[in-house]
Amino acid sequence: MTKFMVGRQPIFDARLAVVGYELLFRDDQARPCGDAMTANVLVHSCLDLGLNTLVGDKLAFVNTTRSYLVGENEIPFPPRQTVVDILEDVPRDSEVIAGCRRLAQNGYTLAADGRFQQGVDPLLELVSMIKVDVFGLEARELPSAVMYCSAYGVKLVAKRVETRDQLRACQRLGFDLFQGYLLSRPETVEGQSLNPSKLACLRILDKLCDPATSAEQIEDIVKTDAALSYRFLRMAGAGAARGLSRRLSSVREGVVLIGHRRLRAWVMLMLLSENYQSGCEEQLVIAMTRAKMAENIAAKLQPALADRGFTVGLISGLDMLLALPMAEVVAQLSLTPDVEEAVLQGTGALGDILADVRAWEVGDNRAVRCGLAMDDVASTYVHALRWATETTGALEAAS
C-alpha cells in the first residue's frame, strides 16, 4: 500500500461559480517524465480516489503530453466530463493535429495555451478553450491577446489570475473562465493505493493482444492480484467505462463491462504510473486466501455463486489493505445487494460462506453455517492458502 497525492485547482465562470478542476501531479519524492505524470494523475484520480470524489459533476481538466494526443497512450476518462489540456510545449505537427481532431470527434473538449504568434495556429482551430497566462503578460498586452484568441470563436480562460486588478481587467475584456491564486490555490488530496503487480499487468496486456481472449481468461489473471481486482471493480461500478453505471456481483462482470479496449488503456497507464513498491505481503496473502477459499466453498455448494464468492472474500480483506473502515470501502464500489449485505451484515448464502471463512482463519471450526462438511471446508482452505501464497510470492518476485 502506497500513499499518493493528487492536486486540484478550481476553474470559475464569470459569476465565480466553479465549473471544473484542473488535476495536477503531486509527489514530494519524484519528478517523472510528463507521460508518467499524466498517467499518475489519471490512475489515482479515477481508480483510487474516484473521479466523482475529486470533481463531482464538474469538468476535469487533464494536462496531456504528445503521446496522449497522438494515441500512443489513451485518456480513458468519460469524454463529456473531460477537458484535454494541451501543454504549451507540445509541437503542432501533423500527427498532433490529427490526434486532436480525433479526440474532439470522440467528444473530448480541447484546451490549449495561446501562443499569440503571427499567422494561423492549426491547433487553435480545433480547441474549444484557449488559456491566456494573465500573469505572464503586461496589462497593455492583454487586449491584443484577447483579440487574437477571440478570432477563433472559443471560450477564453484567464489563468494565473493573482490580483484583483487582473481579475477586473479580464472580466471587462470578456474572459469566460478564470483560474489563479487570487480565486483559489491548488488543494492537495491524499489517499492510499494498492499497487498492482507489474507481472499481472504484463500478462493481461499479452492476453489482450489476442482478439480471441475471453473475459474469463482476463478474469483469471485479474483475480491473482488484489489491487487489480479492486481497481477494476471500482472503475466498472463507478461508470468509468463508457459512461455506464450499474451494480456488480463479481470481478468478471467488471471485466465485461469495462471492455478489452478500456482495460488495455488502464493497464498501460498503471504500468506507466506506478513504482510497484511492495505492500504488506502477509495482508495480501490473507485477503487472497479469503477470496479463493470463499470461491471454493461457493463452487462446491452453488457453482453459480463462485464468482461472487471470490468477490465477497476479496472485499472483506480490503479494509486492512487500504486502512479504511469496511463501510467506506464498500461505499466506493457499486455492488449488488447480496454481495454488499454479505460483506457488511453477513447475511444470505454469501454471508454464511464468508462467516465460515473468517471462523476458519481464527481456528474456530465448531460450526459451519454454509452447510458444507468440515473436511471439505478444511480442503478449501488448504487449496486457497497454497494458491494465495504461490500467487502472491510470484507477483512479489516479479515486481
Cell of 170: 479580464
Lowest mean pLDDT among 76-85, 110-119, 173-182: 110-119
Considering the domain architecture, whether residues 164 and 59 belong to the same structural domain is answered as yes
If one counts the domains in the chain, the total is: 3
34 pLDDT band (50/70/90 cuts)? Answer: confident
Considering the domain architecture, whether residues 18 and 160 belong to the same structural domain is answered as yes
Q: What is the mean pLDDT of residues 55-70?
A: 94
335 pLDDT band (50/70/90 cuts)? Answer: confident
Considering the domain architecture, whether residues 111 and 149 belong to the same structural domain is answered as yes
Q: Give the count of beta carbons closer than 10 Å to the beta carbon of residue 286.
A: 19
Higher pLDDT, residue 128 or 115? 128
278 pLDDT band (50/70/90 cuts)? Answer: very low
Considering the domain architecture, whether residues 254 and 321 belong to the same structural domain is answered as no
pLDDT greater than 50 at residue 320? yes
Among 141, 168, 190, residue at a domain's last position: 190
Q: Render pLDDT for 225-272 as a digit per residue (tens, 0 to 9).
A: 888 898 888 888 765 444 455 678 888 888 888 888 888 888 888 888
Q: Is residue 107 part of a domain?
A: yes
Distance CA 26, CA 244 (A): 29
Higher pLDDT, residue 390 or 395? 390
Among 130, 161, 190, residue at a domain's last position: 190
* Percent of the chain scoring above 70 in pLDDT: 90
Higher pLDDT, residue 393 or 21? 21
Domain span including residue 153: 2-190
Distance CA 325, CA 27 (A): 26
pLDDT greater than 80 at residue 152? yes
Q: Render pLDDT for 67-87 as a digit per residue (tens, 0 to 9).
A: 899 988 889 899 999 999 998
Higher pLDDT, residue 246 or 3? 3
Is-above-0.95 flag for pTM?
Answer: no
Nearest to 20 by CA among 64, 65, 51, 48: 51
Considering the domain architecture, whether residues 59 and 172 belong to the same structural domain is answered as yes
Considering the domain architecture, whether residues 98 and 142 belong to the same structural domain is answered as yes
**DSSP label at 211?**
T
pLDDT the model gives residue 274: 63
CATH of residue 15's domain is 3.20.20.450
Distance CA 18, CA 83 (A): 15
pLDDT greater than 80 at residue 224? yes
Residue 182: is it exposed, middle or buried by C-beta count within 10 angstroms (0-12/13-18/19+)?
middle
393 pLDDT band (50/70/90 cuts)? Answer: low
287 pLDDT band (50/70/90 cuts)? Answer: confident
In the block, cell 517523472 appears at 32
Q: Render pLDDT for 369-379 as a digit per residue (tens, 0 to 9).
A: 888 888 888 89
pLDDT the model gives residue 370: 84
User: Ranked by mean pLDDT, which of 144-148, 179-183, 278-282, 355-359 comes out on top?
Assistant: 179-183
